[in-house]
């Protein structure tokens, strides 16, 4: 039985075994899932006596027969009537990693592997030295990343001049949850009276690419050229070992002539504006990190941190000792080429916290000179 509310999804599965147990599984919405959440259920002992039992669970990808993870609880005594079960009353729980095709968190309260799985539960009754399986039930479990992939360029609802743009996006996070990330790109034309979301689902792609290993894709010269005064929609689907683990929003853009040719200096990277939490700005920087920060306070000291999202390394700081923080707009240009913290094709998050505890944020991919298409 499936119940749907406006606020959340709860999947309920009820089964009986010799009139001993009635079990209702309560699985959280699709998305990030921790191991303890596997054990949320309501169990009713319909007998008149306590039942000694333990529970086992296995996770198997829906398109495979190879198990990824298993878990075995301790033995508990289930009193007659209804009991709300959670991981806390089942610990210690022994987990076993059964496949190296998925990045599995070793922490017993850590993250589940990302993917679409069949979770099978087995209930074993203990009577003296005998162990008897009294119930079994399987259900689909979808585990998503903490953050799905996100589009960067071409920007949403903007106009560009390039007939062969370089599509750029950010990976799902945290990246260390994945062992083999690839991407599928879909690009369609948006027809009159269509939304971008409708177009991406309904229209025949004018270009699509599968199993892209990078987070950038220059639009091929061999592909059909994009046309001026037409509207386009695009989306990225992330896959890990061939299994979908997340999709971006659908963005739209069009092509416009902007008049005179730009001079050589116009190719210089622009300053990217930091966004106040929960918004996030995105960019691709080559050698230099360039951002603009709107200081709405009287702060005169920088409070900033940088995180390497690709390797989960400890935070670092951009040396801003020589940059005076003033009220209003602050333009910052930093040459990162001599700082070993910045690695080609790694993704970073820059945060600035002001005296109001407001966080201004920028996520970016760092590229070294000459490697922007690698």
More confidently predicted of 12 and 365: 365
**pLDDT confidence of residue 224:** 86
Average pLDDT over residues 80-88: 91
Report the alpha-carbon distance of residue 135 to residue 210 in Å, rounded: 42
Task: Please check the confidence at residue 280 and state whether its pLDDT lies above 80.
Answer: no
Report the alpha-carbon distance of residue 363 to residue 170 in Å, rounded: 9
Task: Please check the confidence at residue 348 and state whether its pLDDT lies above 60.
Answer: yes
- Long-range CB contacts for residues 46-50, cutoff 8 Å, separation at least 24: 46/16, 46/19, 46/20, 46/21, 46/22, 46/80, 47/19, 47/20, 47/80, 48/80, 49/80, 50/77, 50/78, 50/79, 50/80
For the ranges 258-267, 294-303, 322-331, the lowest mean pLDDT is seen at 258-267
Assign domain 150-255 one CATH number from 2.40.160.20, 2.30.110.10, 2.40.160.10, 2.60.40.10: 2.60.40.10
Q: Which of 308, 320, 291 is nearest to 365 (CA)?
A: 308
Q: Which fold has domain 8-143?
A: Immunoglobulin-like (2.60.40)
**pLDDT confidence of residue 281:** 66
Q: Would you call 338 exposed, middle or buried from its count of C-beta atoms within 10 A (0-12, 13-18, 19+)?
A: exposed
Average pLDDT over residues 257-273: 55
With beta carbons less than 8 A apart as the criterion, state whether 205 and 197 touch.
no
Average pLDDT over residues 321-345: 86
Task: Please check the confidence at residue 14 and state whether its pLDDT lies above 70.
Answer: no
Task: Please report which confidence band the pLDDT of residue 2 belongs to, taking 50, 70 and 90 as the band edges.
Answer: very low
Task: Please check the confidence at residue 311 and state whether its pLDDT lies above 80.
Answer: no
Q: Would you call 279 exposed, middle or buried from its count of C-beta atoms within 10 A (0-12, 13-18, 19+)?
A: exposed
Q: Look up the pTM and report it.
A: 0.55
54, β-bridge pairs = 124
* Mean pLDDT of the residues in the chain: 82
DSSP 147-182: B--EEEESPTTEEE--SS-EEEEE--B-GGG-SSEE
More confidently predicted of 178 and 82: 82
User: What totals of helices (H) and strands (E) does the chain contain, helices first?
Assistant: 1, 30
Domains 150-255 and 267-367 share a fold: yes
**pLDDT confidence of residue 248:** 93
Task: Please check the confidence at residue 252 and state whether its pLDDT lies above 50.
Answer: yes
The DSSP H or E segment spanning 25 is: strand 21-25
Report the alpha-carbon distance of residue 270 to residue 13 in Å, rounded: 54
Q: Which two tokens stand for residue 367?
A: 């590229």
Q: Which of 98, 82, 131, 104 is nearest to 33 (CA)?
A: 104
Q: Would you call 172 exposed, middle or buried from its count of C-beta atoms within 10 A (0-12, 13-18, 19+)?
A: buried
Most confident of 51-60, 289-298, 340-349: 51-60
Q: 22-79 pLDDT, tens per residue?
A: 888 887 656 557 888 889 889 998 888 999 999 999 999 887 888 989 999 999 999 9
**pLDDT confidence of residue 13:** 44
C-alpha 6: how far from chain center: 23
**pLDDT confidence of residue 65:** 82
- Residue 125 burial (CB count, 10 A): 20
Task: Please check the confidence at residue 262 and state whether its pLDDT lies above 90.
Answer: no
**pLDDT confidence of residue 184:** 96
Task: Please check the confidence at residue 222 and state whether its pLDDT lies above 90.
Answer: no
Domain ranges of the chain: 8-143, 150-255, 267-367
Report the alpha-carbon distance of residue 112 to residue 104 in Å, rounded: 6
**pLDDT confidence of residue 76:** 93
C-alpha 101: how far from chain center: 18
31, β-bridge pairs = 143
> Would you say domain 267-367 falls under CATH 2.40.128?
no
DSSP 314-372: EEE----TTS---SEEEEEEEE-TT-TT--TTEEEEEEEE-TT--EEEEEEEEE-TT-T
Report the alpha-carbon distance of residue 168 to residue 345 in Å, rounded: 12
**pLDDT confidence of residue 92:** 93
130-143 and 94-97 beta bridge pairing: unpaired
Task: Please report which confidence band the pLDDT of residue 207 belongs to, taking 50, 70 and 90 as the band edges.
Answer: very high
């Amino acid at each position: 039985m499936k119940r749907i509310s406006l606020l959340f999804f709860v999947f309920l599965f009820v089964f009986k075994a010799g009139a001993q147990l009635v079990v209702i599984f309560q699985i959280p919405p699709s998305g990030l899932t921790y191991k303890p959440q596997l054990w949320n259920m309501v169990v009713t002992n319909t007998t008149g006596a306590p039942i000694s039992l333990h529970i086992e669970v296995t996770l198997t990808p829906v398109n495979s027969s190879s198990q990824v993870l298993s878990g075995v609880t301790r033995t508990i005594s289930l009193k007659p009537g209804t009991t709300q079960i959670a991981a806390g009353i089942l610990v210690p729980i022994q987990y076993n990693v059964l496949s190296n095709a998925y990045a599995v968190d070793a922490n017993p309260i850590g993250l589940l592997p990302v993917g679409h799985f069949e979770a099978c539960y087995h209930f074993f009754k203990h009577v003296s030295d005998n162990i008897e399986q009294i119930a079994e039930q399987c259900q689909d479990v979808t585990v998503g990343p903490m953050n799905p992939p996100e589009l960067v360029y071409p920007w949403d609802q903007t106009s560009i001049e390039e007939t062969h743009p370089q599509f750029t996006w950010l990976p799902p996070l945290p990246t260390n949850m994945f062992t083999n990330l690839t991407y599928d790109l879909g690009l369609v034309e948006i027809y009159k009276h269509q939304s971008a979301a409708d177009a991406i689902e309904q229209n025949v792609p004018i270009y699509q690419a599968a199993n892209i290993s990078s987070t950038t894709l220059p639009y091929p010269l061999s592909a059909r050229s994009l046309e001026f005064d037409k509207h386009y929609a695009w989306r990225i689907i992330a896959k890990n070992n061939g299994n979908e683990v997340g999709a971006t929003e659908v963005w739209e853009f069009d092509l416009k002539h902007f008049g005179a040719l730009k001079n050589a200096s116009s190719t210089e990277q622009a300053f990217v504006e930091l966004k106040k939490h929960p918004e996030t700005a995105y960019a691709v920087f080559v050698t230099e990190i360039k951002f603009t920060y709107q200081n709405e306070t009287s702060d005169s000291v920088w409070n900033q941190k940088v995180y390497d999202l690709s390797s989960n390394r400890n935070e670092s700081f951009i040396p801003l000792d020589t940059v005076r923080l003033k009220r209003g707009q602050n333009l910052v240009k930093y040459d990162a080429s001599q700082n070993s913290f910045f690695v080609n094709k790694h993704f970073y998050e820059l945060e600035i916290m002001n005296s109001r505890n407001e966080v201004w944020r920028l996520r970016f991919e760092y590229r070294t000179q000459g490697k922007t298409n690698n």
